């Protein structure tokens, strides 16, 4: 009996390690965890499962200090990078001949789902110029036009201010550049914007207008790292 309990504890331990490997994944992918929990059956040993390589820091809370490892994700778009909330600079995009930035939208009236695209050079000049002109007057807060974005006109039913961007459920696959170019970042929730700021080095909590302002400014900086977009 005692031997059995020990075995169970050991198995519990390896489960523990697997759970710890998940620490730091702050997106909403908990599927793995749920799977590893439900597949654990206490009365029967699992068949020939290769032992997981223990993390270098061993067990304990320290593994959450390894967050940077989880910063890398598969680039969700050709204009994104493998870092969360990071896009390529305008120079990189031009070098790679990526000019059209597309994203999914849905009409609030006729409910058609389709894609629209923006020319990154044209739109960045528009947004960047707006930022440079109005930055001082903004006082670190997003203006109304960013908080309540004017939406595009529907291509099908031709209703003005009517197509909203379809936001990815997973934060790591949000189409940040598309939302930025269409000046529709205000359609994101505060939680989504905080995620963006957290992964771009602005650990800022605050009202939506402040977090939204930082998101716009940071994306300007990502596109044009030497431009006049410092805080």
Q: Could you list the residues that contact Zn ion (CB under 5 A)?
A: 107, 109-110, 154, 156-157
- Could you give the CA distance from residue 58 to residue 79 in angstroms, rounded to a whole number? 37
Question: Among residues 155 and 231, whose Cβ is nearest to Zn ion?
Answer: 155
- Least CB distance to Zn ion at residue 178 (A): 19
- Least CB distance to Zn ion at residue 109 (A): 5
- Could you give the CA distance from residue 151 to residue 187 in angstroms, rounded to a whole number? 10
- Least CB distance to Zn ion at residue 111 (A): 7
- Least CB distance to Zn ion at residue 153 (A): 9
Question: Among residues 13 and 153, whose Cβ is nearest to Zn ion?
Answer: 153
Return the half-sphere exposure (C-beta side, CA atoms, 13 A cut-off) of residue 219.
30
- Could you give the CA distance from residue 195 to residue 190 in angstroms, rounded to a whole number? 9
Question: Among residues 62 and 155, whose Cβ is nearest to Zn ion?
Answer: 155
- Could you give the CA distance from residue 189 to residue 206 in angstroms, rounded to a whole number? 13
Question: Among residues 4 and 112, whose Cβ is nearest to Zn ion?
Answer: 112
The 3-class secondary structure across 43-103, one letter per residue, is CCCCCCCCCCCCCCCCCCHHHHHHHHHHHECCCCCCCECCECCCECCHHHHHHCCCCEEEE
H-helix or E-strand spanning residue 104: strand 100-107
Question: Among residues 103 and 128, whose Cβ is nearest to Zn ion?
Answer: 103
Question: Among residues 32 and 156, whose Cβ is nearest to Zn ion?
Answer: 156
- Could you give the CA distance from residue 195 to residue 189 in angstroms, rounded to a whole number? 10
């Amino acid at each position: 009996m005692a031997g059995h309990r020990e075995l169970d504890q050991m198995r519990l331990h390896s489960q523990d390690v697997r759970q710890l490997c998940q620490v730091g994944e702050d997106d909403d992918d908990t599927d793995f965890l749920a799977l590893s929990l439900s597949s654990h059956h206490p009365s029967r040993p699992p068949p020939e499962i290769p032992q997981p390589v223990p993390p270098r820091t061993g067990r304990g809370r320290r593994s959450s200090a390894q967050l940077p490892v989880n910063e890398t994700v598969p680039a969700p778009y050709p204009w994104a990078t493998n870092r969360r909330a990071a896009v390529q600079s305008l120079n990189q995009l031009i070098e790679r001949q990526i000019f059209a930035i597309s994203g999914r939208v849905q009409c609030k009236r006729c409910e058609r789902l389709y894609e629209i695209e923006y020319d990154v050079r044209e739109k960045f000049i528009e947004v960047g110029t707006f930022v440079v002109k109005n930055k001082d007057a903004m006082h670190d807060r997003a203006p109304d036009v960013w908080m309540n974005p004017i939406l595009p006109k529907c291509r099908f039913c031709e209703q003005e201010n009517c197509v909203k961007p379809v936001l990815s459920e997973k934060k790591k696959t949000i189409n940040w550049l598309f939302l930025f170019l269409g000046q529709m970042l205000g359609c994101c929730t505060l939680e989504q914007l905080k995620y963006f700021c957290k992964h771009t080095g602005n650990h800022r909590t605050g009202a939506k207008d402040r977090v939204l302002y930082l998101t716009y400014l940071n994306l300007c900086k990502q596109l044009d790292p030497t431009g006049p977009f410092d805080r």
